[in-house]
């Protein structure tokens, strides 16, 4: 079916005229009509304007003037504003708010011919690793609707897995691209800080990254090449633009460090098994994969993150009417740290040092994306068990260290499916600003360990 195609396949078929942009969009809309009542990935459907764009795309293909994303349906995370459209961020506090600016990556997607046909759900203020809010309800994982697609880019991950978009955007402040990529069996890229432009004030927060999500590594690279590059609104956006080259997946002789626990994380057996299978797949592709130890503790990582979020998120919520906030938002805004912001930065530096030293000897690090095999769809943000031990639910993820190490590019790619039907994923972590290497490794992994599809 057309909605099952990758973006690169769909573009090729539209180029050779065996598929039209209108036919593709109609298939995606039909798929959404059948699955959205269960999954609830979309906050807004832009089908009328999308169909007009699809008809223009047909003309572009006929004339041979098609652009890189011409005719491709792209779902955009609601957090990323579009001028003239609502920008509510899942909060009753912002209900009815209309944006007066368009996020740079949305502009770039449109300029490349992408068709924004829907906007995707987040938790309130994108502050959780699951996706439900009082404004938009519960978003569910299409693999198993009892479970969450993850968050905060959960609507994007669920849409891709369900076949209601071919490309999607996300943002990542603590794993918000990679967690839903893992739980939904898709690919998500946390670019290094500054690679993709964002809007103030959070463009200045080194934990924050806007990035691409898709069903294949090549599709993520396609979208990344569209949205990356300097922008006049963003002082941290990097010059010159990095354009990812064609991906050949040749990793023969590359050295990959393997850490299943990243220090002392407790990791569910299915995640361990699938991570080891991914490591073996890279060995099959010709890479040298060796197990290593990192001296991190969960306590240190959470302490550094708490110092950071206490200084930033609490201030962003301010004196909001708590009665209108979701319970998990109130809890997040109430985070306090025994560390000053200065001491938190010092701890971040201490945490990065062993990773930086490790990556002097290895081309990349391979590790799980999550320690858990899934969160309940309506989880309220409280403790959850991982390997029988109760703890903060974020201890069921393994993404925060690489928001601390914000200049490291990280790709989350599928590694298998757990017994509960929820996919698992692994992270490929590169040296600072070495995006190309993680894409090469991911391409090899995708070829050697074919990803499951719904």
Residues classed as catalytic = 77, 152, 176
Cβ 449 vs Cβ 415: under 8 Å: yes
* Helix %, strand %, coil % of the chain (to 5): 40, 20, 45
β-pairing verdict for 187-190 and 42-45: unpaired
Residue 287's nearest CA partner among 449, 424, 414, 405 is 449
DSSP code, position 244: P
d(CA 1, CA 443): 24
The H or E element containing residue 412 is: strand 410-417
Whole-number Cα distances in Å, 356 to 225, 353, 362, 399, 406: 26, 5, 10, 16, 12
Cβ 247 vs Cβ 218: under 8 Å: yes
Q: How far apart are the first and last CA of the chain?
A: 13
d(CA 436, CA 246): 10
Residue 118's nearest CA partner among 77, 75, 157, 78 is 75
d(CA 403, CA 197): 16
Cβ 68 vs Cβ 221: under 8 Å: no
In the block, tokens 């069921």 appear at 396
């Amino acid at each position: 079916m057309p909605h099952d195609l990758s973006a690169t396949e769909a573009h090729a078929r539209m180029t050779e005229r065996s598929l039209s942009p209108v036919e593709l969009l109609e298939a995606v809309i039909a798929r959404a009509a059948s699955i959205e009542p269960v999954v609830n990935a979309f906050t807004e459907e832009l089908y009328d304007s999308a169909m007009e764009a699809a008809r223009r795309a047909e003309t572009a293909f006929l004339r041979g003037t098609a652009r890189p994303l011409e005719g491709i349906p792209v779902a955009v995370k609601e957090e990323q504003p579009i001028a003239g459209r609502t920008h509510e961020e899942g909060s009753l506090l912002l209900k009815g708010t209309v944006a007066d600016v368009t996020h740079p990556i949305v502009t770039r997607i449109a300029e490349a011919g992408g068709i924004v046909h829907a906007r995707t759900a987040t938790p309130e203020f994108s502050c959780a690793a699951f996706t439900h809010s009082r404004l938009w309800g519960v978003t569910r994982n299409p693999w198993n609707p009892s479970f969450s697609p993850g968050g905060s880019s959960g609507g994007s991950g669920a849409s891709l897995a369900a076949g209601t978009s071919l490309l999607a955007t996300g943002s990542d402040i603590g794993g918000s691209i990679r967690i839903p990529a893992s739980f939904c069996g898709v690919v998500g890229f946390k670019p290094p800080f500054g690679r993709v432009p964002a809007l103030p004030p959070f463009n200045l927060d080194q934990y924050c990254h806007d990035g691409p999500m898709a069903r294949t590594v090549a599709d993520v690279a396609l979208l990344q090449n569209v949205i990356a590059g300097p922008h006049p609104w963003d002082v941290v956006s990097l010059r010159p633009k990095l354009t990812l080259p064609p991906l050949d997946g040749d990793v023969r002789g590359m050295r990959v460090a393997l850490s299943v626990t990243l220090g002392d994380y407790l990791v569910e057996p299915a995640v361990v098994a699938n991570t080891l299978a991914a490591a073996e797949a890279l060995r099959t592709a010709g890479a040298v994969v060796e197990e290593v130890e990192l001296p991190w503790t969960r306590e240190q990582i959470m302490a550094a993150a708490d110092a950071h979020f206490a200084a930033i998120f609490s201030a962003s919520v301010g004196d909001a009417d708590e009665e209108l906030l979701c319970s998990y938002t109130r809890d997040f805004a109430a985070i306090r740290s025994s560390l000053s912001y200065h001491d938190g930065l010092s701890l971040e530096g201490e945490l990065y040092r062993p990773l930086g030293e490790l990556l002097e000897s290895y081309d990349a690090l391979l590790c799980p994306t999550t320690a858990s095999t899934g969160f309940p769809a309506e989880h309220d943000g409280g403790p959850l068990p991982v390997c029988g031990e109760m703890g903060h639910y974020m201890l069921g993820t393994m993404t925060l260290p690489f928001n601390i190490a914000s200049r490291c590019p990280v790709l989350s790619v599928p590694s298998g499916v757990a017994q509960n039907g929820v996919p698992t994923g692994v992270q490929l972590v590169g040296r600072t600003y070495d995006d190309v290497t993680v894409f090469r490794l991911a391409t090899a992994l995708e070829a050697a360990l074919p990803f499951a599809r719904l």
